[in-house]
Structure 1
């Protein structure tokens, strides 16, 4: 968390969790980035890092027709959308706008740019799921692979900090104090079907199940408890098998209900609780992806975590709860 530079950001927030010294141009170079917004730069940049890491490990990730991308988001870039609309109203005629800005005002721009930059010619999808977008994208990825639509999917989520997002959140909460500072970032995972030319890439985890449900009128506790119970039932596992619990815990009005539901599930066990929001703030659509990355990082550094189960949950205030159950590979690298 850092103090917001008021010379750069005209926002009501005093502090935010920003990606340090980030700009699309600094990360990706000058070519093709003159008008690129933050959320697109974050997504394209983290995809580049994932592909580069595979190549450095001697396990290059094939691109081309067999590789797709699924990206979770809230609305794309609120800053680009609102800026484009504002420009159209300020010019003498509505159509006198900078055409280079138009693609970034479309919700699926970031996913499309990832595919263009990195030669990903498989399915390309954007899922608008707010706080739960990372888990919803993971489930959509499983469906694409199960149906044979792709051999591998780069799956993740991205969210930017911007003046538009800051003011939207400010007016949305009204006089209520902020639950936590706003954050930003992007996380991306390579997801493959087991046994499909993956021997050179040791898996960090196995996805056992991903579930989601609506929560009506803020009844998060009941909806999430049912979602988790359904996941455990479908996988034939019990609460005593859960090694780590990773809640979203972002919005105060729902965080307590989320915690209550999870405590009820793992009561009497030694499950480890992992707090991501306390470190990274409200990362919006990237939040659930960061939760996955956090527990995988913990497991990868601990050989005793191999084969353990992690339960990741997310609550979006617009009416969705989601959970994922993964079996870690722990200490695989």
Structure 2
């Protein structure tokens, strides 16, 4: 492979060349960046406009009305998670330029992570089938919202993306898994560019499920406020990004995922994932300038902190604790962590880590602003 004479960078190096979010700070990368840099909380008290379930505060995308944002056509039966994904994809494609999807729609894929899809849609549809006069007395237009890949499929249809379309689910680690899946699609030449990330909606139904799950055992996360959001990234080879006038915001350095069966050994699993990811990226611990942990709190969060302390020792990189600003965004949490990494000053390696109580750990190394 030929190298760029200007930077020595391999044009096949995979880079993030664009990103956008729908977050508790609002729609778009700009309000998210401002909120994170100001260290401003986006978790708000109940204002009476939404049922927060057992919680008094939540990190909801403000003023997000589906028909106002996306229009009336095609949105009558659209669930909130799908709408968040469709809106975020539209913002990212607008930023990338009209040629990304229109010229060669089959060259652009989508990998979208989710927890369960739309929990509210699943529970509403199930309730209607149980409480109606007949089990089949349900609204058929709502059934697609109960399928896990609804958001990914609808986003691709809405924006004419005809490349590979994949849905990934992996708890809190979902966003990192989606990024890793997207890199494999590109390296195996299944497409030329990928929109990848994750989405999670807030609903009273999800709030109650999360609350019961968190308070059900000693190794669960604290029952803190929930959040919602979507973060999507444009991942493509460096050469393609430059050919279309897009700069590299970050280079994907390394990624590792390790499972654990015993929660007491979660720190060992994460430590191994971080060590191997740094080695793959050819980054020494003392070179890392920013840590973006999952910051889950409780016993699991303590094990994450212990694993990082064991690796970095006396080196104290800056640390972005995003969850306390946005709430627990579930499956979208790790993607929002990646977005948080992109808000930091450039030209330094960033480590993003995630731990899920069901037994998964993940670590991703990015080099921001270096290509």
TM-score of the aligned structures, taking structure 2 as reference length: 0.83
**Shift of the alpha carbon at 1:6?**
4.3
What SS class does the counterpart of residue 62 from structure 1 fall into?
helix
1:195 to 220, 223, 239: 239
1:17-41 deviation line (CA, Å, top 9, x unaligned): 1110112112101111111111111
1:56-82 deviation line (CA, Å, top 9, x unaligned): xxx742351000100011111111111
Which residue is 2:366 aligned to?
Answer: 326
1:174 to 196, 215, 222: 215
What stretches of structure 2 of length at least 5 have no aligned partner?
Answer: 1-42
1:154 to 195, 217, 221: 195
What SS class does the counterpart of residue 86 from structure 2 fall into?
helix
2:124 to 83, 88, 107: 83
CA RMSD of aligned residues (A): 1.7
What SS class does the counterpart of residue 116 from structure 1 fall into?
helix
1:61 to 100, 104, 118: 100
What SS class does the counterpart of residue 216 from structure 1 fall into?
coil
Alignment of 1:3-14 (within 5 A): 3-6=45-48, 8-9=50-51, 11-14=53-56
What SS class does the counterpart of residue 109 from structure 2 fall into?
strand
Q: Distance in 2 between matches of 1:181 and 1:112?
A: 29
1:257-279 deviation line (CA, Å, top 9, x unaligned): 10111122122224111111111
Alignment check: 8 A CA contact 2:108 2:164 kept = yes
Which residue is 2:37 aligned to?
Answer: none
Which residue is 1:281 aligned to?
Answer: 327
Which residue is 1:73 aligned to?
Answer: 114
Which residue is 1:302 aligned to?
Answer: none
Which residue is 2:290 aligned to?
Answer: 244
**Shift of the alpha carbon at 1:209?**
1.2
Q: How many residues were matched structurally?
A: 322
What stretches of structure 1 of length at least 5 have no aligned partner?
Answer: 300-304
| Counterpart check, 1:311 vs 2:351 | yes
**Shift of the alpha carbon at 1:10?**
6.0
Change (3 A) 1:231 1:8: closer
Alignment check: 8 A CA contact 2:352 2:365 kept = yes
Q: Distance in 2 between matches of 1:7 and 1:291?
A: 28
1:129 to 146, 158, 170: 170
What SS class does the counterpart of residue 188 from structure 1 fall into?
strand
Poorly superposed stretches of 4+, deviation over 6 Å: none
Which residue is 2:155 aligned to?
Answer: 114
Which residue is 2:66 aligned to?
Answer: 24
Alignment check: 8 A CA contact 1:138 1:210 kept = no
Highest RCO, 1 vs 2 (Cα 8 Å, sep ≥ 6): 2
| Counterpart check, 1:266 vs 2:331 | no
Alignment check: 8 A CA contact 1:17 1:184 kept = yes
Alignment check: 8 A CA contact 1:69 1:111 kept = yes
Change (3 A) 1:197 1:328: closer
Q: Distance in 1 between matches of 2:274 and 2:222?
A: 28
| Counterpart check, 1:225 vs 2:271 | yes
**Shift of the alpha carbon at 1:252?**
1.7
Which residue is 1:292 aligned to?
Answer: 338
